[in-house]
Amino acid sequence: MIEFKNVEKYYGHFHALKNINLEIKRGETVVLIGPSGSGKSTLIRAINGLEPIQQGQLIVNGFDLHDPSTDINKIRKRVGMVFQHFNLYNNKSVLENVMLAPRIVNHVPEEENERYALELLERVGLKEKAGSMPSMLSGGQKQRVAIARSLAMRPLALLFDEPTSALDPEMIGDVLRIIQEITSDSDMTSLIVTHEMNFAQKVANRVIFMSDGEILEDSQTSEFFKQPKNERAQKFIDQVKNH
Ligand code: ADP
């Protein structure tokens, strides 16, 4: 589903992704962890073309992103992103937020679009908020709407960029539970950047540890949390545990 081959990414002179090689298969749920500034967000943003890469190959659903003839919008249609700060349309109702992209991008008939949007809102526990404006919702509720909105495009893959780090602690659990539900009962591919280690342990079948723009470890979740192979990963886990 997603393949990085010798990918290099620079912000000006700053080397943000260093020789990234990574293959993620359909249906996998992969968690990306590591210290702040290690390139996690850059890596997942590259997957739907939000960050261009300078070298190497990045293949998503069969399309080579570094190839100028690739239409990035075709990839974005099938690869959704859930951001830290929700990015809802604040002047549109919750239901409209969920229905907008399927209507405009996929031309889904109105009735079918609404039915599916309401079904998704029910799945994230917010059907009764369909008519509300985003400003009436808590952060956790906004993030659940953002998740429903991404699912409305029937994505092959969903990228989560620290989906709970802007939330109050009491809101985090509900959002994590929903992410766990949607990633476990489908063949959707998910890549999640998170600092929530308990959640990472429960949700992922694979853990990738990054530091300074490099992937230092790529392990099965149970092995990783029993004992990371990489020394820096071990240190990171110890720090998070003692925090
Ligand atoms: P993480 O998600 O692991 O916290 P990021 O991918 O956000 O890391 O950032 C990796 C590095 O790239 C950081 O040092 C950050 O300062 C730098 N960086 C991120 N975005 C930009 C940008 N738009 N311009 C310049 N540097 C950036």
Question: Over the stretch 113-128, which tens digit does the pLDDT of each residue have?
Answer: 999 999 999 999 999 9
The tens digit of pLDDT for each residue in 14-46 reads: 999 999 999 999 999 999 999 999 999 999 999
Model pTM score: 0.95
- The Cα–Cα gap between 31 and 161 comes to 10
pLDDT at res. 66: 83
| Cα end-to-end distance, the chain, whole Å | 35
User: Which of 57-71, 135-149, 151-165 is predicted least confidently?
Assistant: 57-71
- Ligand 1 midpoint to CA 16 (Å): 7
- Ligand 1 midpoint to CA 169 (Å): 25
Our answer on whether the CB atom of 14 is closer than 6 Å to any ligand 1 atom is yes
Compute φ and ψ for 39, nearest 5 degrees.
110, 10
Looking up tokens 């280690």 gives: 197
Looking up tokens 């993620």 gives: 24
Atom number, ligand 1, closest to the C-alpha of residue 35: 3
Confidence of residue 68 (pLDDT cuts 50, 70, 90): confident
Residue 8, helix vs strand vs coil: strand
Q: Is 195 in contact with 33 (CB distance < 8 Å)?
A: yes
